[in-house]
Amino acid sequence: MSIEKRSEIYNRAKSFQYAFEGWWFVLRTQHNAWIHALVTLAVVALGLWLGLPLRDWAVLILTFMAVWMAEFMNTAIEAVVDMTMPDIHPLAKVAKDVAAAAVLLGALGAVLVGLLLLGPPLWVRLFGA
């Protein structure tokens, strides 16, 4: 294997390492990430119990990913703002508030998707009709 090829493989492996370090940072430092994690696990367990069809799983997975991506971007924006604006500034507040709103919007959308996909089969499972 050529040196260039080995270097490319090493660089790809490092990029995955950096991504997992970022993921771990979010889980370690962001309280809301733990809420997302618990809700994600609860919805997966409920979906398995209800025997959801594959299409519903695809929608749920996309929904989970949208919320997680918003949380990751929110954390990144907060870190950059804190690094570049250690003092309180109105535009820094706007950046952080808008990033937080993106997470909130994603989470609210996820709740609606969850109700639409899990509600009817859960109702049938619990009440029989």
Residue 69 pLDDT exceeds 90: yes
Question: What pLDDT, on a 0 to 100 scale, did the predictor assign at position 118?
Answer: 98
CB 63 within 8 A of CB 109: yes
pLDDT of residue 86 exceeding 90, the answer is no
Average pLDDT over residues 43-58: 98
pLDDT surpasses 90 at 129: no
Per-residue model confidence (pLDDT) at position 12 = 86
- Each domain of the chain, given as residue ranges in start order, spans 31-127
In the residue annotation, 71 being an active-site residue is answered as yes
pLDDT of residue 26: 97
Instruction: Give residue 3's pLDDT band: very low, low, confident or very high (50, 70, 90).
Output: confident
If you search the block for the tokens 């119990």, which residue do you land on? 49
Catalytic hit among 8, 21, 71, 78? 71
First to last CA, the chain: 63
Helices (H), the chain: 3-29, 31-50, 54-84, 90-127
Mean pLDDT of the chain: 94
- What number of residues does the chain have? 129
CATH architecture assignment, domain 31-127: Orthogonal Bundle (1.10)
